[in-house]
Amino acid sequence: MLHQPRDVAIDSDGNIYVLDAGNFRIQKYSPEGYYMDTFGRRGQGPGEFEIPVSIDIDSDGNINVADQGNNRVIVLSPEGRELRTFRFGSTVTPFKFLDSGEIVTGIITCGIVIQPVQQYGSLRKSAVFIFNGEGELIKTFCEQYDFEDNYTNPVGNSIYFALDNNDNICLTFAYQNRIEKYTADGECIFSADRPLSFEIDVIQRSELGISPDGSVYIKLPEMKFVSTSIGVDYNDRVWVMTCRKQRVIDDPEPYLELEIYDNNGILLGELPWTEDFNPDVNSFHMFGDRVFFRDEEGVSIYEYRIVEK
């Protein structure tokens, strides 16, 4: 049984690795979905996790797990043995490897982790960060929108990102009508938007206050979701899970759709989400023609294939 699966990765043999975050472990499956092995457990020792938030396979076939709870990346062999640990920035966040071995991450606040962009000083105006293999920040790009609030800015500029077959970085903003594509050097290839059926606004701004017991609290802003995930297929088409409207409990009408863009940002079509489960935020992971969705209940992974007609 999976509990809060956070991420999916596939190795060169097609084996599937599910980051089973709620159980503090990695579940390995064959390409056909048969269980093969389990790695990890809760803790602070070798091969142990506290708050694992993402997983990726490096060029050597090793498994890299971003563990925010222990503020480190744990590198495991394909058999699950810890090889080393490293970190990047002051707080480890969900990331992916470029072919160069560099690390891509961004402002990711949607139910996972808040990137402390203040640590980068004047560079905090960017939404995408690239580190080298030693964990040193080497470049930033993708300008943030200024909401004129220190807490609304990182939430409102949170992104989901995916890499295409040429190591270009495709991203969508969770709370803005922006879909963008950049080279690994930070050159913008395209920036797109689309008609929305609702107005984008900040429902409630962040709030700083004092509780009756005297403790200081910060209430994060409430905003309307625009996008909830992004992926790139084998033809470099960009797939974005977009809100057709804001979700209303017990409303049976689909509130999500998959939008498909070509590699130049031209909208090719939409697929209303009509499956029996609700996908979680940052829920789908695309590898060639294989697509994996996490359900909102956090106990299952569903695999689909793209079929050309």
Is the confidence at residue 151, as pLDDT, over 80?
no
| Distance (Å, whole) CA 72 – CA 92 | 6
pLDDT in tens, 65-94: 999 999 999 999 999 999 999 988 778 889
Q: Are residues 58 and 161 in the same domain?
A: no
Question: Quick check: is 300 in a domain?
Answer: yes
Asked, for residue 79, whether it belongs to a domain, the answer is no
Do 100 and 34 belong to one domain? no
* Same-domain pairing of 32 and 145: no
| Domain of 144, in residue numbers | 88-305
Please tell me the predicted confidence (pLDDT) of residue 117: 43
80 assigned to some structural domain? no
CATH code for the domain in which residue 49 is found: 2.40.10.500
Q: Say if CB 257 and CB 242 are below 8 A apart.
A: yes
Q: Which of 138, 235, 145, 122 is nearest to 184 (CA)?
A: 138
**Residue 25 located in a structural domain:** yes
Q: Which of the four pLDDT bands, split at 50, 70 and 90, describes residue 119?
A: very low
Same-domain status, 22 and 157: no
**Position 83 in a domain:** no
Q: Is the pLDDT of residue 121 over 60?
A: no
pLDDT tens readout for residues 186-228: 999 999 999 999 999 888 887 777 888 888 777 778 899 999 9
Q: What is the pLDDT of residue 269?
A: 95
DSSP 142-211: EEPP--SSTTHHHHHT-EEEEE-TTS-EEEEESSSS-EEEE-TTS-EEEEE----SS---EEE--EEEE-
Kindly state whether residues 260 and 198 are assigned to the same domain.
yes
Burial (CB < 10 A; 0-12, 13-18, 19+), residue 104, is: buried
Residue 120: predicted pLDDT = 42
**Rounded CA gap, 76 and 160, in Å?**
25
Q: H or E element: which one contains 24?
A: none
Are residue 48 and residue 106 in the same domain, yes or no?
no
Is 27 inside a domain boundary?
Answer: yes
